[in-house]
Amino acid sequence: MEWTNSVEKQRLNKQTLALLPSSVIHNVSSAKAEIGIVHLGPGAFHRAHQAVYTDNAMEFGGNWGICAVSMRSTGVRDELAEQENLYTLAIIDENPSYQLISAIKEVLVLGEQRQQVMARLTAATTHIVSLTITEKGYCLDGKGLLDTAHADIVHDLANPAEPRSAIALLATALKIRMQQGIDQLTIISCDNLADNGAKLGKAIVAFATLSDKTLAEWISLNVCFPNTMVDSITPASNDELRARVAEAIQLQDNWPIQREAFTQWVIEDHFSGPRPAWDKVGVTFTQNVSGYEKAKLRLLNGSHSTLAYLGLRCGFETVNEGISHPALFKLVKTMLVEEVKVSFNAPDELDVDAYIDAILKRYSNRHIRHLLSQIAWDGSQKLPFRLLGSIQDNLAKGNSITLMAVGVAAWLHFLVTAAKTNLKIVDPLADKLISEAAYCAGNLADDVLRLLAISQVFPTTLATNQHFVNAVTNGYLALSNLNPTNIDEVIEGL
C-alpha cells in the first residue's frame, strides 16, 4: 500500500535520523546491536509494547536487538525494510508524544527464510524468544492442551523439516540447541491467555514428546517459560496516524504505530539466561503473575469483548463511542464491580476499584479510535479466558453471572447476525460457528442451546449448567430486539 503525505517529506531512515526533533529520539545506539531476542509475530502490539520496553532498556546497558519473525505474511518485513526497520511510536493521548523505535534490527519471514530463522533461534547469542501470535496461534484444545488434530500440528508432524506452527518451530529449534549444548533460553509468551507461559511450555513439550522423549526432558531442565501479563491498547495504524506523525517528526514514516499512554508488562521472574534491563523501564517481575493476569484478562479484556458485541449491535464503531453511552457505561461498570471483581483473588497490592475506574477512563480516551469490529475477532478463542472462566468461578461461589451472560449472549447474536447476513467473521472456528448459527431459526431457547453445544468453546459442564443456560437465554431474549433506536430501553432492562 503506497501512502504519500500532502507535503513531500524525506523518508524516515538511518540517513535522515539526524533531522528528527530531539524529543523523538531516546536511544539510537550506534554500536551494532547483538540480536539477543527473536520475536514471533511482530504485529502492532509487539511493536508498541515489548519492542518499546527493549528500546527504552538500551539506555541501561546491554545492546539488545530484536529479530522479528513473521510466521506467514511478508507485509511487516517488506514494510519495515523500506525504512531500515525504524518506526515511530505515537502515544495518542491528551498530549500526544512521539518516539523513534530502533529495537527491531531484522525482520524475517518463516515461509521464505526458514534457514535464517532457525539460525537465529539456535544461536548461542539468542537468549530470549518472545511471542505475540494471538490465542489461536497456540494450537490448543478447549482444555488448554496441545490439539494434535489441529491442522498446523498435523502438517508439522508430517513435515518435520518445514514446521509452520510456532509450537513445532520452537520444538525443532530446541532440539538443535539440545544437540549443540546451547541452553540459557527463556521463551516468553506475550498473548492474552491465562497461564500463557505454562500453556506454551506444555504444548512444546507435548509436541517434542511425540518425536523425542529426551528433548522433552532437556526442555524441562534448560528452558524457562514465564507467565506474563501484557497491556496497552494499540489500535490499528491508518493514514490519519501517518499524517499526524509526518507533521510531528517532519519525516515520512509509512509504518508508525499508535497506542495509549498506559502500558504494563508483568513477567514471572523465571529466566534461563540474561535479559534486557526491562526492570529499569517499568516492567514488573514477580513470582505471582496469576492475580495480575486474571485482573487484566477478566476486567479489561472481558469488558472489551462485552462492549464489542453489545456496541456493534447498538450501531457503534469504536470503544469510545460505546463506553460514552450512559446505559452501556452503567452495564459494563456494574458487570465489573458486581460480577467480575468477585470472580478471582486480585493481588493484595491491587486496588481493584481504582483499576476498574482506570479501565473505563482508558476506554473513554476520545483520541483513540479502537474499532469494536477488531476486538470482535476470534471470539471462540477469547471468551473462554475473558468471560467463561469468570462465569464458572462465580457459579462455583454462588455469585451473580447475569451481566457476563449478557456478554456471552451478545456474542451469540453476533454469530447469528453474521450467518443470516453472510457477514464474514474473523475466527479460526468461523466455519463451525457460522454453520451452527445458520441453523438458528428464531426459537430463541433452542438457538441458545444449539450454540452452547459448541464444545470447542463451551465446556460441557458449563453448557449443561441450568443456571448458566437460563442466564444466557434471558440475555439472548432481551437482546433480540436491541438496535440503535432502543438502547436505553433494552440495556437498562437487563
- Using alpha carbons, list the distances in angstroms from residue 434 to 315, 368, 380: 21, 31, 12
**Torsion-angle region of 85 (φ positive above 0: left; ψ -120 to 50: alpha; else: beta):** left
Q: Binding string to ligand CS2 for residues 374 to 393, with x set by CB under 6 A, is what?
A: xx------x-----------
Calpha distance 179→370 (Å, rounded):
46
Binding to ligand CS2 (CB under 6 A): which residues in 158-197?
A: 192
* Shortest distance (Å) from residue 233 CB to ligand CS2: 5
Nearer to ligand CS2, 230 or 462 (CB): 230
Closer residue to ligand CS2 (CB): 207 or 411: 411
* Nearest CB to ligand CS2, comparing residues 264 and 402: 264
Contact region for ligand CS2 (CB under 6 A) — 35-43, 137-145, 230-238, 328-336? Answer: 230-238
Looking at the Cβ atoms of 36 and 137, the one nearer to ligand CS2 is: 137
Region from 4-12, 96-104, 154-162, 229-237 binding ligand CS2, contact rule CB under 6 A: 229-237
Beta carbon of residue 332, minimum distance to ligand CS2 (angstroms, whole number): 13
- Neighbouring CB atoms inside 10 A of 415's CB total 25
Binding track, positions 299-318, relative to ligand CS2; x by CB under 6 A: --x--x--------------
Among 131, 233, 332, 408, binds ligand CS2 (CB under 6 A): 233
User: Residue 453 has which C-alpha cell?
Assistant: 453445544
Q: How far is the CB of 305 from ligand CS2 (least distance, A)?
A: 7
Binding segment toward ligand CS2, per CB under 6 A, in 72-80, 153-161, 228-236, 403-411: 228-236
Sign of CA dihedral 298, 428, 44, 71: positive
- Kindly state the cell numbers that stand for 32: 551494532
Residue 245 C-beta: closest distance to ligand CS2, Å: 21
Partners of 228 in the beta sheet? 267
Which residue from 55, 147, 195, 231 is in contact with ligand CS2, where contact means CB under 6 A?
231
Cβ–Cβ under 8 Å, residues 236 and 247: no
Binding footprint of ligand CS2, residue count (CB under 6 A): 9
Q: Closest approach of Cβ 320 to ligand CS2, in Å? A: 13
φ, ψ dihedrals at 109, nearest 5°: -120, 120
232 binds ligand CS2 (CB under 6 A): yes
Is the torsion defined by CA of 301, 302, 303, 309 positive or negative? Answer: positive
Give, rounded to a whole angstrom, the gap between the first and last alpha carbons of the chain.
45
Task: Please report where in the chains the cell 540447541 appears, as a residue.
Answer: 177
Least Å distance between CB 310 and ligand CS2?
Answer: 14
Distances (CA, A) of 173 to 78, 168, 176: 25, 9, 5
Question: 204, 202, 196: which is closest to 178 by C-alpha?
Answer: 204
- β pairing state of 228-231 and 223-224: unpaired
Q: How far is the CB of 276 from ligand CS2 (least distance, A)?
A: 21
> Which residues between 341 and 380 bind ligand CS2 (CB under 6 A)?
374-375
Q: Taking CB under 6 A as the rule, which mask of x and - marks residues 3-42 in contact with ligand CS2?
A: ----------------------------------------
CA distance 153 to 149: 7
What's the grid cell of residue 454? 459448541
Q: Which three cell numbers stand for residue 41?
A: 509475530
- Provide the 8-state DSSP code for 12: P
Nearer to ligand CS2, 41 or 65 (CB): 41
Binding residues for ligand CS2 (CB under 6 A): 192, 231-233, 301, 304, 374-375, 382
